[in-house]
Amino acid sequence: MELSGPRWKGKNFAQIANSNPMSEIIAQLQVCLSNSESAALPIGTDFLLETVPELTKLLNRTSFGRQLTTSYDSKQYFQLSPEETFYLHHFLKCLKVSIDNAKLIDVNDFWNFMRSRSELFPIYYRAYVHLRSKNWIVKLGTKNGVDYVVYRHHPALVHSEYAVIVDRENDKGEKEGERMRVWSDLHCAVRACNGVAKAVLLLNVMGYEVNFNLPELLERTIVDERQITRWVPSQCRDDCKLEGNKGEHH
């Protein structure tokens, strides 16, 4: 399918987005988080962060985590995914993390901690960094049967344009991930996503080796972006006259 550009949810929403660049709101979040004493704690496979209204507002505006509804007024609670937590801690250098009652200072310890919980964490984190560092909003894509969905600005203002699937290959260009292995994987992804006006974006993390440390992950891997598009010849664009020669077709 051909996407004709972002689908804004309201009449002036594009202007609102233009007047509020995401990078600036994220900068405000960085300042606020850095000044906060609150530390993220592991809960299950995610992380819990206790917040106050100012921080709550900024986390919501930058679409990090899910706010847990509670009856408390003075404090709020956010559940952050591993990628979100690590990104705020490592890339944006503003989130404190506490594991086993010890406030971790060494980002490499935290990196090893994350890796011990999930073998694929480096791949997903690499993809997450790739998208967030371009100031796209990244949310989980479970509803659409993909890894992530990305938004050009806040989800309240705009529909997501891409449904992201993360795959990987080694430095010899050999596919190592398990995604899009068989044809039904492609048919399924495209069908599911086109039905909700999203293009399928395949992010291929290239050159990854299992023994990479954190700097190597970011410096020695490349993220390849390819769209998976279905072409339906009978729905060719207007400039493609399908009547053909007279007498040739029925």
Among 151, 153, 162, 208, the active-site one is 151
Q: Near other proteins by CB under 8 A, which window of 50-58, 60-68, 91-99, 235-243?
A: 235-243
Helix (H) or strand (E) holding 160: none
> Minimum Å distance from CB 189 to other proteins?
11
CB atoms within 10 A of CB 160: 25
Q: Which of residues 167-226 bind other proteins (CB under 8 A)?
A: 169, 173-175, 180-183, 185-187, 190, 201-202, 204, 206, 224-226
Per rule CB under 8 A, is residue 4 in the interface with other proteins? no
> Known catalytic residue: 154?
no
Which residue lies nearer to other proteins by CB, 76 or 144?
144
Catalytic-residue membership of 159: yes
Helix (H, G, I), strand (E, B) or coil at 47: strand
In angstroms, the CA 51 to CA 79 distance is 11
**Looking at 12, 15, 18, 112, which residue binds other proteins (CB under 8 A)?**
18
Binding track, positions 20-59, relative to other proteins; x by CB under 8 A: -xxx------------------------------------
* H or E stretch at 248: none
List 89, 90, 130, 198, catalytic entry: 198
- 8 A C-beta contact, residue 207 and residue 222: yes
Amino acid residing at 192: A
Catalytic, 198? Answer: yes
Q: Which part of the chain contacts other proteins (CB under 8 A), choosing from 15-23, 49-57, 98-106, 210-218?
A: 15-23
Q: How far is CA 200 from CA 23, 77, 129, 226, in A?
A: 25, 32, 19, 8
**127 lies in the site for other proteins, by CB under 8 A:** no
Looking at the Cβ atoms of 58 and 150, the one nearer to other proteins is 150
Beta bridge partners of 164: 148, 201
Among 164, 172, 166, 165, residue whose Cα is nearest residue 208:
172
24 Cβ contact partners less than 8 Å away, ≥ 6 residues apart: none
- Measured from the CB atom, the residue of 93 and 230 that comes closer to other proteins is 230
List of residues 6+ apart from 155 with CB closer than 8 A: 63, 137, 139
- Can residue 232 be called a binding residue for other proteins (CB under 8 A)? yes
Report the run of H or E that residue 41 belongs to, with start and end. strand 39-43
* Chain positions contacting other proteins, by CB under 8 A: 18, 21-23, 131, 134-136, 150, 152-153, 162, 169, 173-175, 180-183, 185-187, 190, 201-202, 204, 206, 224-236, 239-250
Active site residues: 151, 159, 198
